[in-house]
Structure 1
Amino acid sequence: MKTYIKIALSVLVISSLFTSCEDLLTQTNPNKATEDTFWKNEADFNLALTSCYTPLKNALNGGYYGTRGVMLRISRADEVDFRNDISDIYTTNRFTNSTSNSLTQGMFYQFYNALYRTNSIMQKLEEKGGQFSTEFQNAVKGECLFIRGFYLFQLAKEFKDAPLKLTASQSPATFPLAKSSQAEIWAQAKKDLETAASLLPISNVVGKPTQGAAFAALGKIYLYEENWQKAIDILLPLTKAPYTYKLVDFDWNFDDIHENNAESIFELLIEDVGGTDLWGNGENINSTQSNTRPKEYAAAEVGGWYEANPTQQMMNIFLKEKDKTGNFDYRARCSVAWDYDGCTYYQKPFRKVFAQDKWNTYWILKYQNWKTRSDEPSPPKSFINERAIRYAEVILQLAEANLNVNKLDEAIGYLNQIRQRANLNDYSGAKTKEGIFADLVHQRAIEFFVEGERFYDLRRWGLLKSTLETCDEVRYKNYMGGEKGSFNKFNYYPIPTKEIDNNPLCTPSEGW
């Protein structure tokens, strides 16, 4: 069961110390902590560290693993269709979004909000480090660098070129900053994660990053840069002692019963420690520390808001291969509900939940409460932890990296670990790079359905255009409207208009 860590609600107040450029005119509350009264002891630094995770989990304002952040990450691939209810998500799904999209703007500023916080902590640690033990200083610095490196990777993955802010300052003179290239941002992320790995322990308190998490994040950057051998060098040790990661029952990764299991390398705690405000900014004293993901995707028949459904193209991928006993892929049955013999949805047979005219519909199961509840009640608070890095991803990254250095047997071996977990037969296709790559694409599509990996995989493999073309004619036409030469502006989210207006050194994103 979930282990709850009760965090003082004052940590949400502490975050007011770490403001972004847009908050400079906010008046200081004399009852809140200030620079003069804070940063006195280890407890203060630990509270400040806790506040660094809030931007990742912010549910409605672009937190990368929050409800809307996940929607932004899955909306542009071929996995799901969104209905026209949340306009800023619908426009990204249809490739009609603009530089004023409030949610992509929110994601952009959540990254910088978190960067400001980590930079602030490290600056204060350097200033006051003599007051604390070397062990404590290393722990704080390691955690800060992991968070910063993790954020920087995602920032450049989403926006490509962007300002690289490595200091915390309240002086308006420091706010204008030109963009750095994606390569430069990732170079800093790699530097941060390498240092973090040298400082973090192999095992840590639940919810805190570990050495393995830093190496897993670092290896992923090398994979994105197509530095295949370096990715292998970084990721391979994670499969051996002293690390103890292993694949577990696939379904254990998306419920609140099996959290922090052996497959989880980095997990964000979503805990019932906040207030009652579901629609706040996640920072104020009354904000819930939950998300609304299950309610968003559940069918109306079980109290949900039915915001998105799996596409037929995704279902064709799920149904392509049956397992050793003739059943549909176990991961498919844990990820989607549809009308097959034995399917249950919120503890009832599929056909008991839906009228006959909906027997041909598909419904998301991942991160839903379909096994433990009969419906999604109000208020729509979910406390299922977000698994940000799973060991399965390390295994499939090793398969991809080995494939690209022509170690075909090793690549097949890693693929077979994933296939065996799903009760599939071992790979029996052509022993060629093309054949093995096709199965890698297939396995990643199923393994990481609605986990926010598919769009970025298709983009980096050069398969995005052809995949969208066979999925939805209108979406494809809109997407192609963003193409100019070899570049398509819709491959990245744009720097928000607000940043361009306020930062005279920052130029618009390419194509926007």
Structure 2
Amino acid sequence: MKKYIIKSVFLLSILLTIGCSDDEYLDKQPPDQLTSENFWRNAEDARSGLTAAYSELEARSNFWDGWQEGRSVVEYFRSDYVLPGPDATNYSHWMSIYNFNYTNGHIFLDVLWSTNYKGINFSNQVIKNVSEMTADQISNSEKEQILGEAYFLRGYYHFKLLTLFEQIIIRDDIVAPATLDKALATRPEAWDFVMQDFKTASDRLSFEIQPQDYGRANKGAALGYLGKAYMYKAGDESSNTSDDYQNAAEAFAKVIESGQYALVDDFKSLFNGENENNKESIFELQFKSGDATSYNATRLHSFVADWAIGGWGGILADDRLVAEMKEEGMIAENGLYDNRLYSTLYFDDPYFNDESTKRMEGSTWDSLIEATYGDPNAKDDVAIFRKWLPEPLEGNGYIGLNVTLLRYADVLLMYAEALNETGNTEKAVELINEVRTLHGNVPAVALNSKEEVFEQLMHERVMELSLESTRFFDLRRWGMLDEAMSAAGRNGFNAQEHSYLPIPLSEIQTNTEIN
């Protein structure tokens, strides 16, 4: 998939040239549209169209205001355990997200909205045009595969929008002049549409995936996101129904019973580029370092890493996260805290101050902090995120470090939560222990009540998934945002106003069907 993504650059240059000038927008010409007369002639065209649909994942077609900063700030800064890094205060548009005083004219909102809808339009082009291809143009098996992936992508883009924005527009066909202006859907309508696309994708796709196709969706991704969507819907008071947890459990069970996935022993290797596209990865965003023929790189590591270790200083962790991750004490088999702590964070601790091992970028916490900030105690009240950093960090600029969007461990924990909510607490405990004993190197827990299991699940999701774009959304579906933000001193937050992002001003100004 890494090599295929590059081809999308050329295709996108065609797509974005058609129907995207200011005058054409004023005349309401359909954006990003190709016609059957000049495209969609054969299987190669179908593959190229599908690659274009993948190219908008996580807003990466807009490197800075989308992938690199927009997604990171919107999804990380709204966590109660995250603090702005030393560089963040230089950017008022970053800080407005952190302080929850942004407006609907914010550039990041506009980019996240528009890139997801570009992805939807590309997906719709594939669905419509590949559906019309004959057996002479494309084989039946490849046609089904490409359509399955296109339905998955359309569902994924709508899902991303629905988790970010309070209301969205359902786009189920290629944008045309008559449909540029379209009303907002209700959240129940949008959830139904997302579920149906993931179901359609899962019916068309298989679990098997070849190495040359890593990064493409398969049946496991479709079912995993179907279950995740049901979990999010279950926590959405505007839309939830009594069968959401059961539906989620059924989708997750199929992923687990497939036998295609397993937990990886080395937790740290899931994030530092040493073990990409592994058995735990269900859906993984592919990156590739630039070379003479292609370019599809990332600098997420630079945003995440503090100045002390050679990063740009975009983000820090509140010491409350360290306290949460130390909560069970030094109970690991190796005499340390839950080992996931050390793979998630750098912090002031004997583990990172051991001169004989120098476990922090070839040095120690005190040495690096003193060299950067003039005092070894200058950052004792915060921690530095370690996830998504190559090792060593030094010397890494634009690189090809993949980012996993859905892991098997997340599926196991969501499955445990769904089972707990539907009365199977015993099985839920088994799943919790499967994750924590392997990744955390800590003893199994014995839990007897639904309440105890839920409390442990909240803890396990912090231990397992910090800085993986889950925390804010977990708190929201649990109805705990106000409580968590208050505990973090985030006084500008109000759940009624800030649980979802507002519809971007650009959409309101150009869509006559939105008031």
Give TM class, smaller chain: 0.7 to 0.9
Whether 1:104 aligns to 2:122 is: no
Q: Quote how far apart the aligned CAs of 1:5 are.
A: 4.0
1:177 alignment partner, SS class: coil
Match for residue 446 of structure 2?
Answer: 428
Match for residue 367 of structure 1?
Answer: 388
Match for residue 177 of structure 1?
Answer: 182
Match for residue 323 of structure 2?
Answer: 316
Whether 1:13 aligns to 2:10 is: yes
2:139 maps to amino acid: S
- Cα 1:353–1:23 change in 2 (3 A) is same
Q: Quote how far apart the aligned CAs of 1:20 are.
A: 10
1:388 alignment partner, SS class: strand
Match for residue 510 of structure 1?
Answer: none
Match for residue 468 of structure 2?
Answer: 451
- Cα 1:187–1:273 change in 2 (3 A) is farther
Match for residue 50 of structure 2?
Answer: 49
- Determine the C-alpha separation between the residues in 1 that align with 2:185 and 2:97: 25
Kept in 2: contact 1:194–1:218 (CA 8 A): yes
Match for residue 377 of structure 2?
Answer: 357
Match for residue 345 of structure 2?
Answer: 336
- Determine the C-alpha separation between the residues in 1 that align with 2:65 and 2:176: 23
Which residue of the other structure, out of 184, 197, 215, is the alignment partner of 1:192?
Answer: 197
Q: Quote how far apart the aligned CAs of 1:402 are.
A: 1.0
- Cα 1:256–1:67 change in 2 (3 A) is farther
Deviations 1:254-301 (A, max 9, x none): 0212001110011111112578xxxxxxxxx99x42222111122223
Which stretch of structure 1 is more off in the superposition, 393-402 or 70-79? 70-79
- Cα 1:274–1:71 change in 2 (3 A) is farther
Deviations 1:191-238 (A, max 9, x none): 111111111121122121111111101011112222111111111122
Deviations 1:169-206 (A, max 9, x none): 342x3210000012211211111111111111211221
Alignment of 1:21-170 (within 5 A): 23-25=20-22, 35=35, 36-57=37-58, 58=60, 60=63, 63=66, 66-82=68-84, 83-130=88-135, 131-170=137-176
Gaps of 5+ in 2: 25-31, 235-243, 353-358, 371-375
Which residue of the other structure, out of 213, 221, 225, is the alignment partner of 1:213?
Answer: 221
Match for residue 279 of structure 1?
Answer: none
Q: Quote how far apart the aligned CAs of 1:425 are.
A: 1.6
2:282 alignment partner, SS class: strand
Match for residue 28 of structure 2?
Answer: none
Q: Quote how far apart the aligned CAs of 1:340 are.
A: 1.2
Kept in 1: contact 2:433–2:445 (CA 8 A): yes
Match for residue 496 of structure 1?
Answer: 504
Whether 1:345 aligns to 2:371 is: no
2:89 alignment partner, SS class: coil
Kept in 1: contact 2:285–2:404 (CA 8 A): yes
Identity of aligned residues (%): 23
TM-score by structure 2 length?
Answer: 0.86
- Determine the C-alpha separation between the residues in 2 that align with 1:254 and 1:180: 37
- Determine the C-alpha separation between the residues in 2 that align with 1:392 and 1:114: 27
- Determine the C-alpha separation between the residues in 1 that align with 2:17 and 2:195: 24
1:179 alignment partner, SS class: coil
- Determine the C-alpha separation between the residues in 2 that align with 1:8 and 1:407: 42
- Cα 1:295–1:193 change in 2 (3 A) is same
- Cα 1:153–1:147 change in 2 (3 A) is same
Whether 1:479 aligns to 2:497 is: no
Q: Quote how far apart the aligned CAs of 1:248 are.
A: 3.5
- Determine the C-alpha separation between the residues in 2 that align with 1:71 and 1:274: 29
Alignment of 1:204-243 (within 5 A): 204=209, 205-226=213-234, 227-243=244-260
- Determine the C-alpha separation between the residues in 2 that align with 1:440 and 1:393: 11
Gaps of 5+ in 1: 276-284, 508-512
Q: Quote how far apart the aligned CAs of 1:111 are.
A: 0.9
2:279 alignment partner, SS class: coil
- Determine the C-alpha separation between the residues in 2 that align with 1:294 and 1:348: 19
- Cα 1:22–1:46 change in 2 (3 A) is closer
Deviations 1:486-508 (A, max 9, x none): xx12100111011000001123x
Which residue of the other structure, out of 402, 405, 414, is the alignment partner of 2:422?
Answer: 405
Which stretch of structure 1 is more off in the superposition, 198-207 or 33-42? 33-42
Kept in 2: contact 1:197–1:211 (CA 8 A): yes
- Determine the C-alpha separation between the residues in 2 that align with 1:333 and 1:350: 13
- Cα 1:123–1:308 change in 2 (3 A) is same
Which residue of the other structure, out of 401, 410, 422, is the alignment partner of 1:384?
Answer: 401
Q: Quote how far apart the aligned CAs of 1:49 are.
A: 1.1
Deviations 1:421-468 (A, max 9, x none): 211121135x22222111111110121111100000001101111111
- Cα 1:401–1:8 change in 2 (3 A) is closer
Match for residue 296 of structure 1?
Answer: 303
Kept in 2: contact 1:164–1:179 (CA 8 A): yes
Whether 1:395 aligns to 2:398 is: no
- Cα 1:176–1:244 change in 2 (3 A) is same
2:166 maps to amino acid: K
Which 4+ residue blocks in structure 1 deviate beyond 3 angstroms?
7-10, 16-22, 24-27, 32-37, 59-63, 244-248
- Determine the C-alpha separation between the residues in 2 that align with 1:60 and 1:8: 14
- Cα 1:262–1:469 change in 2 (3 A) is same
Deviations 1:384-440 (A, max 9, x none): 1110110001110111011111211111111111221211121135x2222211111
Q: Quote how far apart the aligned CAs of 1:69 are.
A: 0.8
Match for residue 486 of structure 2?
Answer: 469
Q: Quote how far apart the aligned CAs of 1:149 are.
A: 0.9
Kept in 1: contact 2:2–2:287 (CA 8 A): no
1:299 maps to amino acid: D
